[in-house]
Amino acid sequence: MRFENKSIIVTGAGSGIGRAAALLFAAEGGKVIVADKTEGADETAHLIAEAGGTAKPIRIDAGLEEDVIRTIALACDSFGGLDVMFANAGISGGMANLFDTDVALITEVLRVNLIGPFLAIKHAAPRIAERGKGAIVLTASVAGIRSGAGSPAYSASKAGVINLAAVSAQQLTGSNVRVNAICPGLTETGMTKPVFDYAREANKMDRVGRLNPLHRGAQPEELAKVALFLASDDASYVNGQAIAVDGGLSSSHPVTRQEYGKTAA
């Protein structure tokens, strides 16, 4: 019960990592504002209530300042303040290469994926500081660490999130508000569902995640558990960091990898 009576906001909580995190926060005693652009917010809140937890859904656009302000106000009015903000909402922006990416597309990706977390920090941090301590967790990506895991628009937005975690941690010095980011590798969410569905239909699941040492993709709960760790007092001395949760994918530069138990040619 690490989050007993804690007030928590999770954006992008209608599915995937956000839903998994909202369910886990509530299971550990947290009172959760379930924020999403879709009706998935209501579904997640219903699942929490069915399990005996406390949640309130809200439909928002995480990249609009007025919606972020409205969400934080709901948490404070409903639960007496704010302890944790998990700014998880994001969009993929497709897989267009640099020269096929128009300005409208990259602008929208940056608005949701980077301006959204910026707004979450800007408006949540002062309310969390009022509680004496707390945490903000951002969802970045291994695509933000180096090239090869996403489109130019998506990768640039997530690199910005990683830097934002570091800069905001510094600028919140003395507030006891920690800011960290998680960097998922390939994870089975609504965003990546077509990849996993195709692999299953084509009997090629052995190829999913084959470039990381664990030879598999992740499930949302595996990412959510790391987000909960960073949001909890268990991570009380972790601040300004970007934690890769990718099966080891980003631990190496591309090489011809020797398989476990096999002799190199």
**Catalytic residue ranges:** 154
- Dihedral pair phi/psi, residue 245, rounded to 5°: -125, 80
> Residues 6 or more apart from 109 whose CB is under 8 A from it?
91, 93, 153, 154, 157
DSSP H stretches of helix in 130-262: 152-171, 193-201, 220-231
φ and ψ at residue 56, rounded to 5 degrees: -130, 130
Which of helix, strand or coil describes residue 210? coil
Close Cβ partners of 150 (under 8 Å, ≥ 6 residues apart):
92, 95, 141, 143, 158
Cα–Cα dist 98/112, whole Å:
19
Cβ atoms of residues 136 and 177 within 8 Å: yes
Q: Quick check: 224 and 28 in contact, CB under 8 A?
A: no
Instruction: Give CA–CA dist 58/39, Å, rounded.
Output: 9
Distance in angstroms (rounded) separating the CA atoms of residues 139 and 89:
8
